[in-house]
Homo-oligomer: A and B are copies of this chain.
């Protein structure tokens, strides 16, 4: 299913809705109100209803939204029908955390390979994910039709790795390295840095502290 020009923020929230809904779905709880979803994610019920409107989902006036149906619809919109395969580059602490966190979470989005240069990690399986030497990357990516790369290797290597990923035909990159990347326009790039998050928390915590004193 395809919906024209879904806003970036809505896409993010759809992912969050699904995650939250998967957590509360049970035999007893089959339906949910917009204000319940809103409360779980610290947003307003209007926001939720608007997002669901954008994806064309209608709820029941008395019961709210059917959780199972909604989870499925979100899947139809944000997942790719044929699934997407993911590789992690750099099997250090962060790479491992990512792999163990994803394990079994999403059927349509599977981490199926890791790459590293450390001989102790290569040709071993971590949490169900096989680790290969970085110089086999292009080959393995093409063989397995991997379309997304997560970079969790040392910062200095980032540009080089990204270039190799692009050459190998990757379509999206999630970069956890503090080095910002340049990729061609047909590759979608998302960057995340924990320091920015932490400094933001620090700034507003400080501000709050003054305000509530």
Question: Which residues of chain A have a CB within 8 Å of any CB of chain B?
Answer: 8, 11-12, 15-16, 19-20, 23, 40-42, 78-80, 84, 86, 92-94, 96-98, 100-102, 105-106, 109, 147-148, 150, 171-174, 178-180, 185-190, 192-209, 211-212
Can you name 17 extra interface pairs (CB under 8 A) apart from A20-B180, A192-B192?
Answer: A12-B200, A15-B195, A15-B196, A16-B196, A23-B178, A97-B97, A102-B195, A106-B199, A109-B202, A147-B209, A172-B202, A172-B204, A174-B194, A185-B212, A186-B209, A188-B201, A188-B207
Residues of B within 8 A of A101 (CB): 94, 194-195
A19 and B109 contacting across the interface, CB-CB below 8 Å = no
In Å, the complex CA distance between A194 and B171 comes to 18
User: Out of B79, B92, B197, which one reaches A192, CB within 8 Å?
Assistant: B197
Question: Contact: B200 with A11, CB < 8 Å?
Answer: yes
| A178 / chain B contacts, CB cutoff of 8 Å | 19, 23
Which 8 A-B residue pairs are closest in the complex by CB-CB distance?
A172-B205, A93-B97, A171-B205, A94-B97, A172-B201, A188-B204, A15-B199, A186-B212
User: With A12-B196, A19-B196, A92-B97 given, is the CB distance from A201 to B173 under 8 Å?
Assistant: yes
> A41 near B180 (CB under 8 angstroms)?
yes
Closest to A39 in B: B182
Q: Is the CB of B98 within 8 A of A96?
A: no
Is A80 touching B196 in the complex (CB atoms < 8 A)? no
The residues of B that contact A199 with a CB separation of less than 8 Å are 11, 15, 78, 106, 109
A201 and B148 contact, CB distance less than 8 A: yes
18 A-B pairs within 8 Å (CB atoms) are namely A11-B199, A12-B196, A15-B196, A16-B196, A19-B196, A20-B180, A23-B178, A40-B180, A42-B180, A78-B203, A84-B205, A93-B96, A102-B194, A102-B195, A172-B204, A172-B205, A174-B198, A186-B212
